[in-house]
Structure 1
């Protein structure tokens, strides 16, 4: 296991800062202008493009793996909320043909070598059975980068994203092999006491982490739970 985040992530994190100013164009809303300026000045966006990753989110999984040595020895892994496919790319890159890599999302995802993807609603009644069949056995890791589309109301966004996290945990408790791991996106703020109680009951080690690739102004965090204890 590496100590802290890797050198590249630290360098990219320090490289943040507005370097390009985008002028408001006719017909472009101010919010779109701010988004464009942020994209143009985000070193993770540039690095993702250089390395061929479909999104800057790929670095979040890479950084989490490098901190916790998460993917070592993984034989089966599920990626919930795969679109546009950045996490699937990292899984394929790091696990190769040594693992069964399964992804699911409401949106279509272009094929990623060495992975199997199904476009469907994770909350659909038959989703869990479909994913189990695709895996072919207990999972070593369940990953969830799922989040609802932002409504602009912080309380609603928090509750909906935490609801997805709870649903992902329900699935993880059903499919994980003993000693397995669970990683899920959560949002800072509000009550997640019940979630943490469940995680601490079923896993030997539970941490909240904010990888450097998560934007500083984002409420996004990740919960990393390791050492699954069935029937805990």
Structure 2
């Protein structure tokens, strides 16, 4: 977990409570508002590292649920979570996820974000590409009525993505959790298939 300027209230709280990242509070708020998880659920966490969302989801679906966490970067193991390293841009990885799940997912979570280049326009474009890949994977993996959550950044391509997502999802809503930084353009789309 980062220190210094990023060590805000949420980061310090996450560290004190044993979470891997401050992002857990965003997911928890979304879960409280939208009822994302049920016991025994099958969950896919895209862009999972460092694993805060997977930690939270594992607690929510325990003891019989299944969590598959995937990231391009290596990730330390988490109790109750199957960790895979791979790139969802590779269609074979989505096929592997489907096979590993053993059935349709109840929820697909995506906290995917680009490695920032410093070029805001480029970073925004990559962010929208990641969201589109996550949506495509979710539509392949989710059961009817399954939940999709993805991080978005407001900017070029945002409105178009939301419109596209609403054609494939029902009850698609935009939510900005309290734990999101005030100066951030970050928001989350939550929808059901």
**Partners of 1:153 and 1:74 in 2: CA distance:** 42
Pick one of 138, 145, 150 that aligns with 1:184: 150
**Partners of 2:88 and 2:65 in 1: CA distance:** 22
Aligned to 1:134: 100
- 1:74 CA drift (Å): 5.8
Residue 36 (1) aligns with residue 4 (2): yes
In structure 1, the residue corresponding to 2:170 is in which secondary structure? strand
Aligned to 1:213: 179
**Partners of 1:190 and 1:151 in 2: CA distance:** 16
**Partners of 1:148 and 1:131 in 2: CA distance:** 21
- 1:187 CA drift (Å): 0.5
**Partners of 1:37 and 1:168 in 2: CA distance:** 30
**Partners of 1:38 and 1:76 in 2: CA distance:** 32
**Partners of 2:130 and 2:67 in 1: CA distance:** 21
Once the two structures are superposed, what CA deviation does each residue of 1:189-225 show, in whole Å capped at 9, x if it has no partner? 1133332222222222011111011111111111111
Q: CA RMSD in A?
A: 1.6
Pick one of 100, 120, 129 that aligns with 2:66: 100
Q: TM-score, normalised by structure 2?
A: 0.94
Matches within 5 A, 1:91-170: 91-170=57-136
Contact 2:175 2:189 in 1 (8 A): yes
Aligned to 1:4: none
Contact 2:68 2:82 in 1 (8 A): yes
**Pair member with larger Rg:** 1
- 1:73 CA drift (Å): 5.2
Once the two structures are superposed, what CA deviation does each residue of 1:146-186 show, in whole Å capped at 9, x if it has no partner? 01101111111111011010011111111111111110011
Instruction: List runs of 5+ in structure 2 lacking aligned partners.
Output: none
Aligned to 2:19: 53
**Partners of 1:144 and 1:74 in 2: CA distance:** 20
